[in-house]
Amino acid sequence: MRSLLSVPKLYDLAQFVMRGTKYRSRLTSQFIRASSGSRILDIGCGTGTILDSLPEVEYVGLDMSAAYVAAARKRYGTVENGAPRHRSQCTFHCLELTDKTVDPLGKFDIVLAMGVVHHLDDASAMNLFAYSRQALREGGRMITLDGVYTENQSRIVKSLLRADRGKFVREESAYRSLCSGSFTSVQTTIAHDLFRIPYTCLIMECFA
């Protein structure tokens, strides 16, 4: 199952089954709140499908999976004659955000890491928050979304969280402590109804 999800089309299908159609519009209107012209860095962009719900923005997607980046470029990148496939200006890179890769990307209004932090151990996650802070202009925001353990969660939700490909699903306090060294102001929301399946997500909005 895990290796099947590394195939972009199967990953997209699995996300559609889990999240349905309302997920992205709620995420973009309630949490991302991008304006036309916003500069957005999407870390762990996957196949880039968040673009379908964003206004006309300048979008930079990063992912370590070459297959996901290739699928994203095919769908949203610039075609050979220079014509855009999407209303936004989109570029995709197959790379990890590090102290060496962050500065050449420039400054952003919004940094996204959707479904990424629970794939990272504590040290890597803290680095991700530090580099994301570095990538933000003053007044910018980072938004993360991950599965979270809470009290009084049903057995089904707990089993689904345990079965996640990401091996570092945490409780809210643990996610908060990962970003507290880089962001002093963080707002969190726990959502039980963002996905079509029973699942609990933590959305963190970190203010630069």
Ligand X SMILES: C[S@@+](CC[C@H](N)C(=O)[O-])C[C@H]1O[C@@H](n2cnc3c(N)ncnc32)[C@H](O)[C@@H]1O
List the one residue from 34, 40, 59, 63 that touches ligand X (CB under 6 A): 63
Candidates 65, 101, 188, 189: give the one binding ligand X (CB under 6 A).
Answer: 65
What DSSP letter does each residue of 55-76 carry, written as one string?
Answer: -S-EEEEE-S-HHHHHHHHHHH
How many other C-beta atoms can be found within 10 angstroms of the C-beta atom of residue 68?
Answer: 23
Q: Which residue in 8, 46, 140, 147 binds ligand X (CB under 6 A)?
A: 46
> Is residue 8 a contact residue for ligand X (CB under 6 A)?
no
Q: Taking CB under 6 A as the rule, does residue 105 contact ligand X?
A: no
CB of 82 to ligand X, least distance (A): 27
Write each residue from 117 to 136 as x if it is in contact with ligand X (CB under 6 A), else as -, in one continuous string. --x-----------------
H helix runs in 21-121, sequence order: 22-26, 66-76
- Does 26 engage in binding with ligand X (CB under 6 A)? no
Rg (CA), the chain: 16
Shortest CB 47 distance to ligand X, Å: 7
84 DSSP 8-state letter: B
Q: How far is the CB of 84 from ligand X (least distance, A)?
A: 21
Q: With CA atoms as reference, report the closest residue to 65 among 88, 39, 45.
A: 45
- Burial (CB < 10 A; 0-12, 13-18, 19+), residue 53, is middle
Is the C-alpha dihedral spanning 143, 144, 149, 154 positive or negative?
Answer: positive
Q: How far is the CB of 34 from ligand X (least distance, A)?
A: 15
Q: Which of 15, 132, 144, 200 binds ligand X (CB under 6 A)?
A: 15
CB of residue 87 to ligand X, shortest distance in Å: 20
Number of residues that bind ligand X (CB under 6 A): 16
With tokens 């709140």, the residue in question is 33
Binding site for ligand X (CB under 6 A): 15, 43-46, 62-65, 68, 96-97, 114-116, 119
